[in-house]
Structure 1
């Protein structure tokens, strides 16, 4: 009988979650039914959207149930299979994260593509964050090589690929980040970097210096004053792909942009998107981006936390400005 250690959240947080809300529990896994897999997790992903699932309110995804095993993307190894499509030793991507072992329906796992990249890349640059960047630019914003592009949180897991894809397409690209070091890294990628830890007016002034011709496409990850600055910087008929607004996830109240009327006067097209609703495009994404990552033409950063017990700390680091770089991952013992 295999035991599974897993995290639950014990209450709905107010503001930034306290680490004490996360509790590690142990239970025995059931025997496999037909069409199921027993998995040993190797890598876990923590992502900003998980914060909204803690509020107990259904949005585009069901909330976490209090005192029930939490969920998140993970890379696991098949330990036992009752499905002919999988065998012991296969590596798969699935959503039974925040735990070390799991029993899952084989229809709910994905075999990993065969590129010569580290396994954890399929949780980051070649996983949901990478697919999000590619979808926002191409499917939502209709990016062309003639566009001037602005990406907020451009050193993060999503934004860092968005800026590089836009650079490779020939665009002029402005990216914002929250520290001098992150801005320097963006500059090394051919991106005009702006620090977003300042007033909306100062952010807009820095964007104008970087791109006096104005912004055609804005990839939105942050919200707050950053969105005010972006609206002020947009050209007429610009396109905004709204991926996230992490600056507001822990706020009780979320006031809108003071200059929201610019959406009308500039005739902007603003569209929010949920990447899982576009997953049918993953094969196109991986065919384009997989070879680039394999040959080192795409740079990506990771902040790796060691051990299952570190999962809450890894998650909370997402809301610590400037504390860590790139994709947040938890590495479990092999």
Structure 2
């Protein structure tokens, strides 16, 4: 068996993270205790929320520790087992260290069924991003047939699923993204009715044209100037699922228009959320997403980078808008 390797947080970033914030460390392959399994990482997920955990600011989840492995969603394969729950060869999903091999308590893992789709989808459309899109849109956004739904970050892992679910539910969808390739994908593959390039267009003017009847639901993945342009168009009793604000994750300070007046006049509901809020309903969400997936109502795109050594680069690419769909790193082949 090959030697193990992990990626640690070398120091906390100030502003945009760089390669200097990561450290590769060779370690021994861990020995198992009773109830544990040895998991070989196959796909490692890199996600925007990880930037928040790299700082020590108070948040909804504990920060990463300096000089300790960074962790996140991983799909791996069991290579050894000291648990009745999993056998050698099983695919599993868990929140695991950025490492080639991990000794894991079997009770913290979920089995991944390769019959439902490519195992990588357990980190994307059938996993955390898909569930985020499903619960954020259906529980907070509550789109009705014929309403206008605006989605920022519409070509990302969450946003692309939101676009499709909104269309399934009969809404008119306007997707916002940052390149011609992404706009083509959002409109011609995902089925959005209108698309806006926030890097090349005057977003406020483009939104007025794309949303002549106003905005009923705004699924916000980015915050910043894009969101500032949406608020004046909010209809009465509009709903805003606040999923993320990647535009400000690497800024020490971020200022923008006061939104209170827009929310009061429109009597809108803005609610921040994280997918863990719905953990007791994950079975419901996965069942519905799987049904839509089997019915070809949900498609997905993955941007897969090869090589464990490229995990930090793949993570940094999230903040440059490089990914179309779910950003993954393939670190090994299944056995």
Residue 197 of structure 2 is aligned to residue 195 of structure 1: yes
Greater CA deviation, 125-134 or 112-121? 112-121
Asked whether the 8 Å contact 1:9–1:21 carries over to 2, the reply is yes
Q: Tell me by how many angstroms 1:79 deviates.
A: 1.3
Q: Deviations over 1:200-243 (max 9, x none)?
A: xx312212211211111110000001111111121011000000
Q: Give the Cα separation in 1 of the matches to 2:97 and 2:324.
A: 21
Q: Give the aligned partner of residue 225 of structure 1.
A: 225
- 1:265-298 per-residue CA deviation (whole Å, 9 max, x = no partner) reads 2111100001012122221122222133245332
Change (3 A) 1:11 1:190: same
Tell me if the contact between 2:168 and 2:297 (Cα under 8 Å) persists in the aligned partners. no
Query: Within 5 A, what are the aligned runs for 1:103-252?
Result: 103-113=103-113, 115-188=115-188, 189-191=190-192, 192-197=194-199, 202-252=202-252
Task: Say which SS state the counterpart of residue 130 (structure 1) adopts.
Answer: helix
Q: Do residues 71 (structure 1) and 103 (structure 2) align?
A: no
Is 1:183–1:193's contact at 8 Å kept on the other side of the alignment? yes
TM-score, with structure 1 as normaliser: 0.95
Number of matched pairs: 331
1: distance between equivalents of 2:73 and 2:110?
11
Unpaired runs of at least 5, structure 2 = none
* Unaligned segments of structure 1, at least 5 residues: none
Distance in 2 (alpha carbons) for counterparts of 1:297 and 1:47: 25
Q: Is the 8 A contact 2:225 2:256 kept in 1?
A: no
Deviation at 1:4, TM superposition (A): 2.4
Inter-partner Cα distance in structure 2 for 1:41 and 1:227: 37
Evaluate the alpha carbon distance shift between residue 129 and residue 238 of structure 1 in structure 2; reply closer, same or farther with a 3 A threshold: same
Question: SS of the residue aligned with 1:72?
Answer: strand
Aligned to 2:323: 324
Shift of residue 2, structure 1, vs aligned partner: 7.1
Q: Tell me the SS of whatever aligns to 2:157.
A: coil
C-alpha contact 1:48 1:318 (8 A) present in aligned 2: yes
Q: So what's the TM-score if we normalise by structure 2?
A: 0.94
Query: CA–CA distance in 1 between the matches of 2:277 and 2:115?
Result: 24
**CA–CA distance in 1 between the matches of 2:153 and 2:2?**
41
Q: Does the 8 A contact of 2:164 with 2:297 survive in 1?
A: no
Using the TM superposition, name which of 106-115 and 34-43 deviates more. 106-115
Where does 1:18-57 land on structure 2 (aligned, <5 Å)?
18-57=18-57
Question: How many Å separate the matches in 1 of 2:297 and 2:245?
Answer: 29
Q: 1:142, CA displacement in angstroms?
A: 2.1
- C-alpha distance 301-114 of structure 1, shift in aligned 2 (>3 A): closer
1:11 aligns with 2:44: no
Q: CA deviation at 1:257?
A: 3.2
Are the aligned partners of 1:44 and 1:97 in contact in 2 as well (CA < 8 Å)?
no
RMSD, matched Cα: 1.6
Distance in 1 separating the partners of 2:282 and 2:247 = 28
Structure 1 residue 81 displacement after superposition: 1.5
- The structural deviation recorded for 1:256 is 4.2
Match of 1:255 in 2: 255
